[in-house]
Amino acid sequence: MFAALEFDHGLFKPQIQWIVVECAGIGRKCGGPIALPPRQDRAYFINPETARQDAKEYAAFKQHQADECLSAAEIQLLKKAESGEPPGRHFAYPWDHLLMAARPLSWGVLEWSGDERFGGPRADAAYFAESTEAELDAKVFALLRDRRLAVVPLGS
């Protein structure tokens, strides 16, 4: 199963707000939820305002994909991601820093103005752990977040 959990470890907090794990289930330990083994981190969400919703939406998508019950809208987003169609104001990019070397990050998603003519902040939204699905997952998440935030590129 895929689960969205609030990240409650001091290491990497406050940067990491929420995490999505692939696991056998969710239990309780020491007063809080815990992902049961076997478990694997799939993505980390860092935007303080949207991390919870970002993680829950990504976990729901991954669960629907695993259960082979994607909605028509999810199938359309998956096809767009597979074809390389870019979202309006999000960008999935390969991660090239040696952070967390034992289980390296391989892709990230950032939010930006959506128009190369305008400078401005590039705010990271999520990071994806190394897996065979990381690239496609990052691209799908960028499209999911674009859709949910109803982002329109500047100049449109």
Mean pLDDT over 38-61 rounds to 96
152 pLDDT more than 70? no
Are the CB atoms for 57 and 144 separated by under 8 Å?
yes
pTM: 0.85
Q: Nearest 5°: CA angle at 141, between 41 and 126?
A: 55
Q: According to the model, what pLDDT value does residue 71 have?
A: 98
Give tens-digit pLDDT for 90-143: 999 988 776 665 668 889 999 988 888 877 788 889 999 988 999 999 999 999
Q: According to the model, what pLDDT value does residue 52 have?
A: 98
> Distances from the Cα of 73 to the Cαs of 28, 56, 104, 147, in angstroms?
34, 17, 31, 10
- Paired with 45 in beta bridges are 18, 126
Candidates 58, 60, 19, 24; CA nearest to 39 is: 24
Mean pLDDT over 55-63 rounds to 98
